[in-house]
Structures are given as C-alpha cells and as structure tokens.
Amino acid sequence: MSFVSESPAAPIVFFDGVCNLCNGAVLFFLDHNPRGNLFFASLQSDAAQRLLGKKAEPGEFPSSVLFLENGILYRKSEAVLRIAEHLSFPWNSFSWTRIFPSVLRDFVYDRIARNRYRWFGKTEACRLPTPAFRSRFLES
C-alpha cells in the first residue's frame, strides 16, 4: 500500500492493457459497477505514468492490477478485493476472503498473474472502450 499525494477523487483501476484476462476483468467491472464510479487506465498509458509516478515499482508494470482510492494505492489481491466492494451483489461480498492472510491471497494472485498470458492470451494493443464507457477511461 502506498499513498499518492495528488490523487483524483474517483477510484481508478490500473490494468495491463495487452492482457486478455485483464481486459475481460475490466469489462466485467464495467458491467457490474452500478454506481459507475470506477475509472480505468491501462498501465501502459500516459495517464498511469502521470498518476502513479514513483508510487509503483517498475517491476509491477504490468504484473499487478493496481487500485487507487482515496489517495491509497492497493496492489494484488487487496486491489481486487477493494475493486469488488464497488461491484453489485454478489461480487461485492467477496471481502469476506480477507479472513485469509494476504500472503496466501497474494500467492494465488501471483500464480495467476505469472501465467495469465499463457492461459488467456495477449493482444498487441489496448482494446478501445465502447462509446458508452469511453468517459470512464483515462488516456492522458
């Protein structure tokens, strides 16, 4: 967890823009975020570089989903659980998994992250959002 001093008001999901699993997760988040309060930025984007600055280590790009909320930058399983809190039922109830130590949750997360390209594939470029969701993506 890191603190970002110049943080935007809205929560932001930073994701690997060339990962099929990550793109699928973003589409899932869009479909299940009834308040429409989540915003998104590819880790490869200028917006991510500007907003994250030195708060994320280069080794995390793009191996970890990052979630910025209220000036706090969350990583790995904690980021996913924080994102889930913004989703509709039953997805928002996954916070109960915090009963498991973060070491165990992050072990599972890291295993999936290491194999995501092999299991789910990779694209050459970030997918463009539909016009309905374009305003929720930060580009620069």
- Residues 74-103: pLDDT tens digits? 999 999 999 999 999 999 999 899 999 999
Domain count of the fold of the chain:
1
For 89, 98, 121, 125, the CA distances from 34, given in Å and listed in that order, are: 10, 23, 29, 28
* pLDDT tens per residue, range 31-66: 999 999 999 999 888 898 888 876 665 555 556 789
Structure tokens at 123: 């694209």
pTM of structure: 0.83
Structure tokens at 37: 């309060």
Does 135 map to a domain? no
Does 133 map to a domain? no
Is residue 17 exposed (0-12), middle (13-18) or buried (19+ Cβ within 10 Å)? buried
Query: Which domain range does residue 116 map to?
Result: 12-127
Does 2 map to a domain? no
Does 27 map to a domain? yes
Does 39 map to a domain? yes
Does 84 map to a domain? yes
